């Protein structure tokens, strides 16, 4: 059974959401690499390797800007290294972390990376919590907001934060009834996969200053 980053009693789903979630649970239990987001990162890594062979360091530059540090340059670039840089360019420290988080395999307490954060989000007033229980209680009291995982924390945010992530109008499209969107409760299901894919396609301006 798929791991959840939330306690099972808090993983509230609609009937339709549960069906989709069961489908993705089955897919990921067979092969987590089938996640569309993992396939996208592998594609970026291959393209990045070809670009590096031609002297184009765009992938390395973006990874360094997102993570705040550049990887040491190896004697020769291999796909393993560009896999890591593709992951670093979207807020993960390693290929394993990105694969685990994006494919729905993370466990409670795992570091979820900075995938759901953008540089300009830091200037917004958001509600940060160390535990899911506290974040969920806050989210319940704030209709029209989203609850997102960030590293080992949770943040309750409004539409301005989501726009900075390149996720315009997702509250209207994916709201859990009239309350908002709890991405932790949707972890690994179809909504999670869809919004992860949307986040990956967001402009560079949502990842770097």
Residue 185 falls inside a structural domain: yes
- Tell me: do 197 and 114 sit in the same domain: yes
Element housing 95 (H / E): helix 95-102
pTM metric for this prediction: 0.83
Residue 183 carries which DSSP code?
A: T
- Tell me: do 117 and 183 sit in the same domain: yes
β partners of residue 150: 153
- Tell me: do 113 and 155 sit in the same domain: yes
Element housing 47 (H / E): helix 36-53
Element housing 19 (H / E): helix 15-30
148-161 per-position pLDDT tens digit: 999 999 999 999 99
Total domains in the chain come to 2
**CB contact at 8 A, 143 and 150:** no
Domain end marker among 65, 98, 131: 98
Q: How far apart (Å, rounded) are the C-alpha atoms in residues 192 and 98?
A: 14
Residue 142 falls inside a structural domain: yes
- Tell me: do 173 and 115 sit in the same domain: yes
Residue 119 falls inside a structural domain: yes
CA distances from 158 to 42, 76, 169, 197 (A): 32, 44, 11, 20
The predicted structure's pLDDT at residue 17? 43
Q: How confident is the prediction for the chain on average, in pLDDT? A: 85
102-146 per-position pLDDT tens digit: 999 999 999 999 999 999 999 999 999 999 999 999 999 999 999
Residue 11 falls inside a structural domain: no
Distance from the Cα of residue 38 to its chain's centroid: 11
The predicted structure's pLDDT at residue 4? 52
Element housing 155 (H / E): strand 153-157
The predicted structure's pLDDT at residue 178? 63
Kindly give the pairing relationship between strand 127-129 and strand 153-157. antiparallel
Residue 153 falls inside a structural domain: yes
- Tell me: do 122 and 193 sit in the same domain: yes
**CB contact at 8 A, 49 and 79:** yes
The predicted structure's pLDDT at residue 1? 26
Residues 6+ apart with CB under 8 A from 10: 132, 133, 136, 185
The predicted structure's pLDDT at residue 50? 96
Residue with tokens 């994006």: 102
The predicted structure's pLDDT at residue 109? 92
Element housing 140 (H / E): helix 132-140
- Tell me: do 118 and 170 sit in the same domain: yes
- Tell me: do 112 and 57 sit in the same domain: no
Residue range(s) defining the domain that contains residue 175: 108-206
- Tell me: do 202 and 144 sit in the same domain: yes
Parts of the chain with a pLDDT under 70: 1-33, 175-178
- Tell me: do 64 and 136 sit in the same domain: no
Q: How far apart (Å, rounded) are the C-alpha atoms in residues 172 and 169?
A: 6
- Tell me: do 112 and 166 sit in the same domain: yes
């Amino acid at each position: 059974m798929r791991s959840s980053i939330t306690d099972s009693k808090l993983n509230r789903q609609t009937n339709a959401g549960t069906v989709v979630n069961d489908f993705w649970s089955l897919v990921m239990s067979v092969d987590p690499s089938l996640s569309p987001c993992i396939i996208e990162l592998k594609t970026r890594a291959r393209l990045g390797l070809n670009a590096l062979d031609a002297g184009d360091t765009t992938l390395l530059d973006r990874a360094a800007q997102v993570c705040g540090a550049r990887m040491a340059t190896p004697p020769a670039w291999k796909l393993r290294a560009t896999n890591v840089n593709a992951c670093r360019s979207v807020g993960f420290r390693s290929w394993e972390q990105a694969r685990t988080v994006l494919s729905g395999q993370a466990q409670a307490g795992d570091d979820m990376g900075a995938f759901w954060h953008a540089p300009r989000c830091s200037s917004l007033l958001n509600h940060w919590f160390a535990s899911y229980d506290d974040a969920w209680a806050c989210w319940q009291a704030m209709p029209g907001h989203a609850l997102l995982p960030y590293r080992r924390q949770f943040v309750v945010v409004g539409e301005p934060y989501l726009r900075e992530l390149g996720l315009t109008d997702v509250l209207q499209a994916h709201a859990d009834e009239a309350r908002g969107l709890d991405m932790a409760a949707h972890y690994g299901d179809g909504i999670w996969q869809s919004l992860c894919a949307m986040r990956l396609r967001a402009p560079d301006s949502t990842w770097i200053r």
